[in-house]
Structure 1
Amino acid sequence: MKKDDLDLTPIIENVVLKTILNNSTDTIYFKDLKSRFIYNSRAHADQLNEPETSMFLGKTDFDYFPPQFAKAAFDIEQNIIKTGQPQIDVIEKWDKPNGDIQWLMSSKYPLYDEDNNIIGTWGISKDITKLKEAEEQLVKLNKELTEANHRLEILSIRDGLSGLYNHRHLFETLQANEIQRIRHVKHGQEMIYSLVVFDVDDFKTINDTYGHLSGDKVINQIAGIILKNTRASDMCFRTGGDEFAILLINTSLQSAFTVAEHLRQVISKHDFILGENSINITISAGVSTCTQANSIDEFVGLADTRMYVSKNNGKNRVSQ
């Protein structure tokens, strides 16, 4: 028998097509010019609960899917018929009647006859629900990670008890401000910032008399007073056990002294409630400005020294 005596190509093509349609886990479908089903794969029948693929004949997506889903698919197919251009990897969301959501990735193509005329469309849809759920979970985890990193960043610069910035962040901020001030000077501009430091007079006595929990309450109440009596642009720090600092941007030494003195008076008049007890406390403060020092350490040291001058001169005062 000669090779040309029997052409098996049509038979093979038919077998291949049926094998694909009957065994592919992706749904495969063929439609006419009006987007009516003319042939469907076994997986498509299973997906839409049809016992036989022949049950699709003459039906459309509107018979199986929500109107919005079906309309979107119809519009895509009609555009393919009009333009001859396929639509690749279109993501479709299918809201099922039972409340489940199925995500599909569909590619659709023009269907041609032997004369190369478009007679409909055909497409393949892959269930990507698990992939989509994994992506959404990844987005959620990334969001949670970002939020956790943000919380850690806040914790790294905040004092856990008072909620004010901590000692480390004071020096980080001073370094940043000094760099900015130097840049201003180079451009012939003036930038002045000042520092108020203070601690609570006889704080150890408060702890010894009322307990450390009461001492913590005093710290918290002082932090609240500081925040209520400073500007939004001012930065407030708890730098030690009962030690605080306030960085005042664009503030002269005299203006910083005024802020410190006002704060001293407010604190001295405040009734600190510790359980059934109410006590009054005082603070000793020192003030410095950046133009008085050649380094950050000297700038902070000047304010510290002046705070101790206040201590040695009877406490409950501000020195500059």
Structure 2
Amino acid sequence: MDDGFYRKVLDSIDDGVYFVDRNRRILYWNRGAEQLSGYCADEVVGHLCSDNLLRHIDEEGRRLCRDGCPLAATISDGQPRRANVIMHHKEGHLVPVCVRVTPIRDQSGDIIGAVEVFSDNSHQKAVQVEIERLRELTLLDPLTGIGNRRFVETATLSRLEELRRYGWSFGVILLDIDHFKAVNDMFGHLVGDDVLRMVARTLAHNVRAFDSVGRWGGEEFAIVVRNAGTEALMNLAERLRMLVEQASLSVANEIVRVTVSLGATVACLNDTLSSVFERADQMLYFSKHHGRNRVSIELETAASC
């Protein structure tokens, strides 16, 4: 069978597949890789994976393409590897992926390169189903493609009912893009819209399938986090803060990055829709006025729930 047959097979699968030589120069990039990353083959073939197009990071935000790359390690020692990393999509947002790396050897057994297979490690299918449901219910924000304020309010009311009936805890996170007006002033409103979409998609791809993410208004977003106490809520908020900080857009010859300030609170039995968001908003205000790009959570209220 010729190479064309194998290319057709590789292009028919949903996972991303690419081959590199010993210098980590990309030799092949399948359609699954195009769909998952946003980069077409012409944009990556011939480039070194260490050129950092995908800008892989780990769960702590450390950049792996230049230090800690599973692909480089496998080429070095010949050991297959599997790792969960976070990939930078061409449109700016971050997507968690599972990568599997295997060495490629010649007839003499010498390593001549490696193949990496990567798959979406988020709840992408659930996200798409949810988007279609929200579109039908007019609960979709047309700009960002995530839920709108009405969607977040509906989800919060449902969680409050579950809290009262079953004692199921939940929390709310409000986040606001820092200095967003400066982005619009410097790059224009079209780039500002791209930044809003980048932040929205980063959030949507990096929460659990049963959590609810929506645009609260303007450059502000809200997340309703099920089955979460103070520690879990704080950990999620800090992780989202870090991921947004790592996301970026290429505009002409410039890289556009933003940070976010976050406020979080755990709901109490006597909460209303207004009261739980008022507390989260107070924490957001605290973050904004104490340096930005940080998370603040109300501990006293959480302790009394």
Q: What TM-score results when the alignment is normalised by the length of structure 2? A: 0.52
Instruction: Identify unmatched segments of 5+ residues in structure 1.
Output: 1-149, 185-189
Could you say what secondary structure the match of 2:264 adopts? strand
Q: Larger Cα Rg: Structure 1 or Structure 2?
A: 1
Could you say what secondary structure the match of 1:162 adopts? coil
1:112 aligns with: none
Q: Does 1:160 align with 2:142?
A: yes
The whole-number CA distance in structure 1 between the counterparts of 2:253 and 2:143 is 22
More helix by share: 1
1:202 aligns with: 179
The whole-number CA distance in structure 2 between the counterparts of 1:314 and 1:254 is 22
- 1:173 alignment partner, one of 133, 148, 155: 155
The whole-number CA distance in structure 1 between the counterparts of 2:233 and 2:134 is 32
- 1:263 alignment partner, one of 240, 250, 262: 240
1:314 aligns with: 291
Q: How far did residue 151 of structure 1 move?
A: 7.5
- 2:197 alignment partner, one of 220, 236, 261: 220
Q: What TM-score results when the alignment is normalised by the length of structure 1? A: 0.49
What per-residue deviation string (whole Å, max 9, x for no partner) do you get for residues 167-204 of structure 1? Answer: 012112211221222221xxxxx210101110100000
Could you say what secondary structure the match of 1:315 adopts? coil
Could you say what secondary structure the match of 1:260 adopts? helix
Q: How far did residue 216 of structure 1 move?
A: 0.4
**RMSD, matched Cα:** 1.8
Higher relative contact order (CA 8 A, sep 6+): 2
Q: How far did residue 229 of structure 1 move?
A: 1.4
1:71 aligns with: none
Change in Cα spacing, 1:262 to 1:172, as seen in structure 2 (3 Å) is same
The whole-number CA distance in structure 2 between the counterparts of 1:267 and 1:151 is 26
- 2:168 alignment partner, one of 184, 188, 191: 191
Instruction: Identify unmatched segments of 5+ residues in structure 2.
Output: 1-131, 298-305
The whole-number CA distance in structure 1 between the counterparts of 2:293 and 2:239 is 12
> Between the two proteins, what is the percent identity of the paired residues?
31
- 1:289 alignment partner, one of 258, 266, 290: 266
- 2:278 alignment partner, one of 288, 292, 301: 301
CA contact (8 A) 2:152 2:223 kept: no
Change in Cα spacing, 1:155 to 1:303, as seen in structure 2 (3 Å) is same
- 1:243 alignment partner, one of 200, 212, 220: 220
The whole-number CA distance in structure 2 between the counterparts of 1:247 and 1:169 is 10
Aligned-partner residue type, residue 168 of structure 1: R
The whole-number CA distance in structure 2 between the counterparts of 1:305 and 1:158 is 26
Aligned-partner residue type, residue 290 of structure 2: N
